[in-house]
């Protein structure tokens, strides 16, 4: 899966939230100052070329929708981060975030409960 630029990822975040929409709908969700319509349209075409987005014709325009799930991209991004900065070690990555974010024991227990809950629901 290809990596996204910051601008591409911003558009994808909006499309994941919208589920589908035209360029105007995507722009409506953007904060000011908004980029030009043509800029957003160009980014969406790039996302189509990268196989993150597809479209269907509706009237004279197009409705765009994500074809990559947010969770799939998040997992891939997290794995890349872990491999590039933490020698592929989940333990090293978690340890780093615990130290840098000054987490306490209660925070860690909450995270472990969530992980255990997810593990049981996947079984």
pLDDT at 119: 62
Q: Residues 66-84: what's their mean pLDDT?
A: 89
pLDDT at 100: 81
Res. 121: pLDDT tops 70: no
Quick one: fold of 6-66?
Answer: Arc Repressor Mutant, subunit A (1.10.10)
Location of structure tokens 């969770």: 71
Each residue of 33-74: pLDDT tens digit? 999 999 999 999 999 999 999 999 999 999 999 999 999 998
| Non-local CB neighbours of 70 within 8 Å, separated by 6+ positions | 12, 13, 16
pLDDT at 111: 78
Q: Give residue 29's pLDDT band: very low, low, confident or very high (50, 70, 90).
A: very high
Closest among 97, 71, 104, 103 to 82, alpha carbons compared: 97
Res. 15: pLDDT tops 90: yes
Within a 10 A sphere around the Cβ of 64, how many other Cβ atoms?
24
Closest among 28, 30, 26, 18 to 44, alpha carbons compared: 26
Q: Residues 81-106: what's their mean pLDDT?
A: 82
Residue ranges covered by each domain of the chain: 6-66, 70-122
């Amino acid at each position: 899966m290809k990596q996204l630029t910051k601008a591409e990822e911003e558009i994808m975040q909006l499309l994941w939230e919208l589920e589908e929409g035209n360029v105007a709908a995507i722009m409506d969700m953007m904060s000011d100052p908004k980029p030009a319509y043509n800029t957003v349209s160009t980014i969406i075409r790039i996302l189509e070329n990268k196989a993150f987005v597809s479209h269907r014709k509706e009237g004279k325009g197009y409705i765009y929708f994500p074809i990559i799930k947010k969770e799939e991209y998040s997992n891939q991004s997290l794995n890349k981060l872990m491999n590039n900065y933490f020698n592929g070690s989940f333990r090293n990555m978690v340890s780093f975030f615990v130290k840098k974010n000054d987490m306490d024991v209660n925070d860690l227990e909450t995270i472990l409960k969530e992980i255990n809950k997810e593990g049981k629901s996947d079984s």
